[in-house]
Structure 1
């Protein structure tokens, strides 16, 4: 399999770009002392919006990330779709396979892991210590608060289970506690889980825990599954540079205004929009019923955010209306899209099928380029500080300047 070192499959677009940035070795520009990313210097990475269209035997970049779009499917559909795509990957045998899911366990994670386990041994851990997301005694905690006791699932139709193994039901699982993860018996525990037909579900509280898991999983040929934490552990085990042939070419970025689209009604999203407005960026705060006919215009750097209480019953309709507004008024502008479902719908409508990640404005906020030089930034709705959108705009402006100076 030519130049593909790693195949990652993500269940939504923002997750795909997030894991592509991590696996591609793109620096976090928000980190203290970070310097602007130089396009073409990182590991060659491509994000394909349709995982089913992947042909893994073809030459390509060092890391290929496919979007299964399984978040919007039923559990049965998601499992069947992942099995089809992963079946080809297992046959083609890339150096490593990663399944990227939401770090808060949203989506049909258990059904997909069960389907994957029928094809290959699977090791799952959703911890992202850098974001305060850890797993102890099988319980996922966010900044110390158990997931099932917080409000991060407010937009979901039902609350999460009280533990990771319970949330994955009915997938067969074997829980690996911290003592096992940090002890000498980790390899044997993984082997017992594989022999028993179970998904190994591991605790982790530190990057070191995830490094041990990734190393043991790769030694035993497991598919690694989880969030950006396990992706970072995998990335640390890849060569510093991908092979020269097949490296992704950096598109020339065309200077354009920016359209920011926020579908979230969270308090964090409102603060981020307010920070934009304080810097002089026009922010249109629209109620759901205003989306269809709003005269946004096709020029200037502007932001749109939906002002509505979280209501799962209307979320699909709101997302469709917001997508239609974005497609109608994008005007060739660079795009900042918060939320994987909205981002995927917009790019599908614009006929964009592949992205080349260029930089991380901050963890989870990835700026990528299309083949014709448009910049598309995606970010999960729950990510980022109050200055998230300002950091993204700064990164987009810097990339426009950099790509005029650095040859692709």
Structure 2
């Protein structure tokens, strides 16, 4: 909570609107984020309809299945919440149903909820619902928006600037490291396609017991792979990732990346899949700010660091089978042109 308040103190005085990005599967310290932000009016809308994540009567659904009945948290140590109210407890909230959202009176109902010291939690089934929520919310003075990438996209649509400048060109002299830290089953096919496209892969031993200290031989193999072109770091877990070891494995991935990047001769661009992996890697490298540039595909966001390197972040469960290939081709267009010829 202290980190959120520190960020608020740094940025909110200079920004007319503050948006907090949370995980679309309700993982992480959402209650602490909301509590830290709630010294001003707060509206919560966590749905991500394009990713199949909708909110119905205050319950998050994944492709129509309530979160707590799905397998979305299979790699987590904790059990998923049944309702969003459970996530926020003991903070009081009020559910804004889809009927409320589409009533034409949403703004008044949000204001009434805030006046009653209840955090509005908005249902959403479509991107149009999120657009409606955004329109009703931004009229509230000093409001703070909290949501997933769905609400962020709605904000982007509302603030879009015609004729925006194109993204600066990528530097092909940078090293390119792809870090796959997700346990999502769909990632296996994505990794195979990237390997088939010629990207070298280094797997770190993910069998328990897990040691967090990087293994010199794995760091050496990753350095060798990076010297020859884009390289991918993955978890080598033939029998699947043990949920009880997931936190240690993320720390091991991040520590291995940090140790490797320290010895790479050129600046390193990164592709990071899985939210916890991305956060750990960026923290380990001392990267505390990202400027979004563009979206490679839904959920895969290309950002620039203060030092000029590229970082693409993507939720572990997102993307078609060619997701990683598309991201690498976006960062290294010459590889795509070569493949086409």
Shorter-chain TM-score tier: 0.7 to 0.9
Where does residue 28 of structure 1 map in the other structure?
Answer: none
Once the two structures are TM-superposed, the CA of residue 372 in structure 1 deviates from its matched residue by 4.5
Classify the secondary structure of the residue corresponding to 1:264.
coil
Q: Could you tell me how far apart the structure 1 residues matched to 2:182 and 2:167 are?
A: 33
Where does residue 112 of structure 1 map in the other structure?
Answer: 33
Where does residue 146 of structure 2 map in the other structure?
Answer: 225
Once the two structures are TM-superposed, the CA of residue 217 in structure 1 deviates from its matched residue by 0.6
* CA offset digits 1:68-96 (Å, max 9, x no partner): xxxxxxxxxx2x33234335655x26221
Change (3 A) 1:237 1:399: farther
Q: Could you tell me how far apart the structure 2 residues matched to 1:152 and 1:241 are?
A: 37
Equivalent residue in structure 2 for 1:237, among 158, 174, 193? 158
Q: Could you tell me how far apart the structure 2 residues matched to 1:236 and 1:370 are?
A: 24
Q: List gaps (5 residues or longer) in structure 1.
A: 1-77, 402-408
Contact 1:114–1:199, Cα closer than 8 Å, also in 2: no
Q: Could you tell me how far apart the structure 2 residues matched to 1:169 and 1:399 are?
A: 51
Change (3 A) 1:82 1:354: closer
Contact 2:167–2:293, Cα closer than 8 Å, also in 1: no
What's the TM-score, normalizing by structure 2? 0.83
Q: Could you tell me how far apart the structure 2 residues matched to 1:227 and 1:104 are?
A: 9
Contact 1:254–1:374, Cα closer than 8 Å, also in 2: no
Equivalent residue in structure 1 for 2:52, among 129, 132, 141? 132
Higher relative contact order structure (alpha carbons within 8 Å, sequence separation ≥ 6): 1
Q: Could you tell me how far apart the structure 1 residues matched to 2:41 and 2:162 are?
A: 28
Once the two structures are TM-superposed, the CA of residue 104 in structure 1 deviates from its matched residue by 0.6
Q: Does 1:187 align with 2:107?
A: yes
Q: Does 1:359 align with 2:313?
A: no
Classify the secondary structure of the residue corresponding to 1:253.
coil
The number of residues matched between the two structures is 319
Contact 1:251–1:369, Cα closer than 8 Å, also in 2: no
What's the TM-score, normalizing by structure 1? 0.71
Contact 2:76–2:246, Cα closer than 8 Å, also in 1: no
Q: Could you tell me how far apart the structure 1 residues matched to 2:79 and 2:280 are?
A: 26
Classify the secondary structure of the residue corresponding to 2:100.
helix
Where does residue 292 of structure 1 map in the other structure?
Answer: 215
* CA offset digits 1:134-169 (Å, max 9, x no partner): 111111111111111111111222211222222221
Q: Could you tell me how far apart the structure 2 residues matched to 1:399 and 1:126 are?
A: 38
Change (3 A) 1:271 1:126: same
Change (3 A) 1:252 1:231: closer
Where does residue 277 of structure 1 map in the other structure?
Answer: 195
Q: Could you tell me how far apart the structure 2 residues matched to 1:322 and 1:96 are?
A: 35
Contact 1:253–1:399, Cα closer than 8 Å, also in 2: no
Where does residue 327 of structure 2 map in the other structure?
Answer: 392
* CA offset digits 1:161-199 (Å, max 9, x no partner): 222222221221011111111003212211111111111
Q: Could you tell me how far apart the structure 2 residues matched to 1:98 and 1:373 are?
A: 24
Once the two structures are TM-superposed, the CA of residue 392 in structure 1 deviates from its matched residue by 0.5
Contact 2:291–2:303, Cα closer than 8 Å, also in 1: yes
Where does residue 382 of structure 1 map in the other structure?
Answer: 317
* CA offset digits 1:247-275 (Å, max 9, x no partner): 99947624334221112233112111111
Once the two structures are TM-superposed, the CA of residue 336 in structure 1 deviates from its matched residue by 1.5
Once the two structures are TM-superposed, the CA of residue 120 in structure 1 deviates from its matched residue by 1.1
* CA offset digits 1:45-71 (Å, max 9, x no partner): xxxxxxxxxxxxxxxxxxxxxxxxxxx
Change (3 A) 1:261 1:229: same
Q: Does 1:326 align with 2:244?
A: no
Classify the secondary structure of the residue corresponding to 1:305.
strand
Where does residue 125 of structure 2 map in the other structure?
Answer: 205
Classify the secondary structure of the residue corresponding to 1:237.
helix
Equivalent residue in structure 2 for 1:214, among 128, 134, 143? 134
